[in-house]
Amino acid sequence: MKNAHERFGELVYLRRSEKTQTHIRVHLSAWIGEESKAHFISVVGGDTEIGALAAAFASHDPFTVVNPDGVEKIVSLGEAPACFRGSIITGGRKRPLRHLVALSKEMIGHEQQDRLLLISDESGFIWSSLVLHFGLPALPQWADWFLGELNRRKRIQKLSGFGYSPVAVKTTRRELLKLLEYGLRKGKLAFPSDNGPIYWQTGDAVPQ
């Protein structure tokens, strides 16, 4: 892709000990986080670099993320992040590049069940994620109304990073069911008149 390199940032990892110094700089294709915490990291590098970073992430060492516009932030993934490795074959290279994706415990849903971290702020994506996560009886066309109510209650927070438009949604199943009750009672929402499957954008049918 033309000028694809301009969409990359950098991840810099520096560690010093009495006898050694580790200094790694790799391409950063995307990251998501808040304050001093990273929730999602996607980097590309060589075998040695990616191996060292996987070990550093597992030890919850801090590192620096640099956005494509040069903004820097020191973060860590916290305890017990999940790491996934892959390979990217490119022309002109004898060996494939190594790709590493790391996610915090909260990003994969192991902490704070009342707070959902999402990679997109698109209303349909947020709504379908909430419906799936909390097991709600819902319709796709309710997305704008529900998100309007959640925004009014300041339940949706934008996160830092680049490559995605991430948000954190802080709510509970109880709160969403209360909103559903309110919306139905006020005539803002309505169930379909006929029984049958409900088709979401993914094409999956959710029986109602």
Where is the domain boundary, 79, 103, 127?
103
Do 22 and 99 belong together in one domain?
Answer: yes
Do 119 and 159 belong together in one domain?
Answer: yes
Do 97 and 119 belong together in one domain?
Answer: no
Q: How far apart are CA 144 and CA 196, in angstroms?
A: 23
What confidence score (pLDDT) does residue 179 get? 97
Determine, yes or no, domain membership for 120. yes
Cα–Cα separations (whole angstroms), residue 92 to 37, 46, 171: 36, 15, 49
| Longest CA–CA separation in the chain, Å | 73
Do 29 and 99 belong together in one domain?
Answer: yes
What confidence score (pLDDT) does residue 49 get? 94
Tokens read off for 208: 């109602």
Determine, yes or no, domain membership for 36. yes
Do 95 and 26 belong together in one domain?
Answer: yes
Do 98 and 132 belong together in one domain?
Answer: no
Residue 58's domain comprises 4-103
Determine, yes or no, domain membership for 147. yes
Total number of domains constituting the chain: 2
pLDDT beneath 50, residues of the chain = 1, 203-208
- Give this prediction's pTM: 0.85
Determine, yes or no, domain membership for 80. yes
Determine, yes or no, domain membership for 196. no
Determine, yes or no, domain membership for 146. yes
Do 73 and 147 belong together in one domain?
Answer: no
Digit-coded pLDDT (tens) for 78-103: 999 999 999 888 777 778 889 999 99
Digit-coded pLDDT (tens) for 52-79: 999 999 999 999 999 999 999 999 999 9
Contact (Cβ atoms closer than 8 angstroms) between residue 63 and residue 54: no
What confidence score (pLDDT) does residue 4 get? 54
Determine, yes or no, domain membership for 183. yes
Q: How far apart are CA 104 and CA 107, in angstroms?
A: 5
Q: How far apart are CA 180 and CA 140, in angstroms?
A: 13
Where is the domain boundary, 71, 103, 135?
103
Do 93 and 130 belong together in one domain?
Answer: no
Determine, yes or no, domain membership for 168. yes
